[in-house]
């Protein structure tokens, strides 16, 4: 039986990964620094540990007795977070460094590292009609300041641990992942979830206006969580030795993303544009030539289908939150 450690398991992507690996019959240890009651998904029959993996001794405890590691732990969020928390993002280097050392010393056979499209050279992302970033476009290096540099450095570290110690490492560069059981408010959410939240507010709170960061013409591709999980597992057990893109090649502008969500909701909002807000690069898309070559597959869940599922889940959470607030208000009024 495979015995696998998944780090960042209280988060969005790793939470889904734990569920899938458990369903495959693997013995799973799920690790996150957040208290378990704050995890997005908690799986029964899994060894759930609360450990801060920036601390070396905790990384040794996390991998002890297991064979493989999926390292998805990092301090991160959407553009609003990573542009204003560069030092915090850089400190995630401690997690990957200590996890690699623990993997080397404790006999781990395979190590997966979740990297990001933020490693790509910013000068190759100035055109909204980005033809797609090839893996080679990470060099010469000019990564997203803070978060992107940490990811690029950690990729190199994986490479050298393979080179020097024979540890099998696999690296995937994630392009904007979205779906249910993820952050949709609070500052760490990414664009699809944030836009779903803003549109749902029209229905629940009669908010007629939506603020969009930037001019809305910046472009991205967004990968649905199911595609991401399949990609992680397939890359982990492949012979792909170099970092590889894991993302959709269905590129849209932020305005088009809003159009899709409004279409799902059956409503229109007034749009205002905040040109001073964090907006990231001008155009980013995933060139999937390499993953198609190696795996004969690429992420393919359409944005409309994925957003329909995501919208429904976020709406459910927001209705529940509204009902709870109403209930609390009623009780307070009753007490007075």
DSSP class of residue 27 equals E
Q: List the Cα angle 285/288/292 in 5-degree steps.
A: 165
CA dihedral over 189, 192, 195, 201, signed as positive or negative: negative
- φ, ψ of residue 214 in degrees (nearest 5): 85, -165
Cβ proximity of 218 and 280 under 8 Å: yes
Q: How many helices (H) and strands (E) does the chain have?
A: 11, 13
- Determine how many CB atoms are found less than 10 A away from the CB of residue 241: 12
What distance in Å separates the CA atoms of residue 306 and residue 224, rounded to the nearest whole number?
A: 6
165 counts as catalytic: no
**CA atoms of 143 and 90, how far apart (whole Å):** 12
246-271 burial: b if 16+ Cβ within 10 Å, else e: bbbbbbbbbbebbebbbebbeeebee
Q: Which of 66, 120, 147, 184 is catalytic?
A: 147
Which residues have CB under 8 Å from 28's CB, separation 6+?
4, 5, 6, 18, 21, 22, 43, 46, 47
Three-state secondary structure string covering 153-195: HHHHHHHHHHHHHCCEEEEEEECCEECCCCCCCCCCCCHHHHH
Residue 120 corresponds to which tokens in the numbers above?
């790509």
The answer to whether 29 and 18 are in contact (CB under 8 A) is no
Burial of 94 (0-12, 13-18, 19+ CB in 10 A): middle
3 state DSSP class of 260: helix
Active-site residue list:
147
């Amino acid at each position: 039986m495979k015995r696998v450690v998944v780090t960042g398991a209280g988060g969005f992507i790793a939470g889904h990964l734990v569920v899938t690996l458990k369903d495959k019959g693997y013995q799973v240890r799920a690790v996150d620094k957040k208290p378990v009651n704050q995890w997005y998904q908690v799986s029964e029959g899994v060894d759930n540990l609360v450990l801060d993996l920036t601390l070396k001794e905790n990384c040794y405890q996390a991998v002890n007795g297991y064979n493989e590691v999926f390292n998805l732990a990092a301090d991160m969020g959407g553009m609003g977070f990573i542009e204003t928390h560069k030092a915090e993002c850089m400190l995630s280097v401690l997690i990957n460094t200590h996890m690699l050392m623990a993997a080397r010393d404790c006999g781990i056979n395979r190590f997966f590292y979740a990297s990001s499209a933020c490693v790509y050279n910013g000068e190759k992302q100035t055109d909204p009609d980005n033809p797609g970033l090839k893996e080679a476009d990470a060099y010469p290096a000019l990564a997203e300041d803070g978060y992107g540099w940490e990811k690029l450095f950690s990729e190199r570290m994986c490479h050298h641990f393979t080179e020097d110690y024979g540890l099998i490492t696999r690296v995937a560069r994630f392009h904007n992942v979205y779906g249910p059981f993820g952050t949709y408010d609070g500052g760490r959410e990414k664009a699809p979830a944030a836009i779903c939240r803003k549109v749902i507010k029209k229905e629940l709170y009669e908010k007629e206006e939506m603020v969009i960061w930037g001019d809305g013409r910046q472009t991205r591709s967004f990968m649905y969580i199911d595609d991401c999980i399949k990609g992680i597992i397939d890359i982990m057990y492949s012979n792909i030795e170099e970092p590889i893109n894991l993302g959709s090649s269905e590129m849209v502008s932020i305005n088009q993303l809003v159009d899709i969500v409004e279409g799902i909701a059956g409503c229109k909002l007034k749009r205002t544009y905040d040109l001073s807000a964090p907006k990231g690069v001008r155009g980013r898309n995933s060139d999937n030539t390499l993953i198609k070559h190696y795996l004969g597959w690429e992420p393919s869940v359409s944005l409309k289908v994925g957003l329909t599922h995501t919208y429904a889940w976020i709406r459910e959470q927001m209705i529940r939150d509204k009902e709870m607030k109403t209930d609390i208000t009623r009780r307070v009024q009753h007490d007075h």
